[in-house]
Amino acid sequence: MRIISGQYGGRRFEAPRNLQARPTTDIAKEGLFNILQNRMDMEGILALDLFGGTGSISFELLSRGAERVTCVEMGRQQQQFIQKVAQELHIGRELNLVRGDVFRFLRSQAAVAPEDGLYDLIFADPPYALPQLADIPELILGNRFLKPGGLFILEHGKDQDFSAIPEFSELRTYGAVHFSFFRPD
């Protein structure tokens, strides 16, 4: 795993070989963050990284100035790797690592979300074969998770099409990686 830019830019971390995660490719991640840099100031944002995997997106956001990132990951090995990287980078409270089921986490957050939202940016990178993958946009966009002007990005495979969702704004493709962007009204 490589952090591309920012405070921790250029740092590399070797994930365990048996880690069950499909990290976002460097090319896709670089393309994604080029888009984000042109759309929002990442300095001081509050972000949510769902299905954190290696923590690559969380660390990239923190490296680029996010105030706080909540990273939700169910796998014990993945969480241990994320904790190890956070310790090596001396990241403390800026990273809120939650070990648990993303859908349970979202239900609990929906119960406490304020009217003006919780996050400036939400990124979700679920397993492409996840049966509930199609439910994720509704869970995010149907609750008060995003602040006004916030952005939700869903990484998915080529077989999913979210363009019929009213908040859908665009699709970006990098090889086999597809990012659907959503902006609530």
Percent of the chain having pLDDT more than 90? 81
How much is the pTM? 0.95
Q: For 8-13, what is the mean pLDDT?
A: 91
Identify the architecture of domain 101-185 in CATH.
3-Layer(aba) Sandwich (3.40)
- Half-sphere exposure (Cβ direction) of 53: Cα atoms closer than 13 Å: 20
Q: In the chain, where does the domain assigned CATH 3.40.50.150 lie?
A: 101-185
pLDDT digits (tens, 9 = 90+) for 128-174: 889 999 999 999 999 989 999 999 999 999 999 999 999 999 999 99
pLDDT digits (tens, 9 = 90+) for 76-105: 999 999 999 999 999 999 999 999 999 999
pLDDT value for 163: 97
Look over the chain and give the mean of its residue pLDDT values, rounded to a whole number: 93
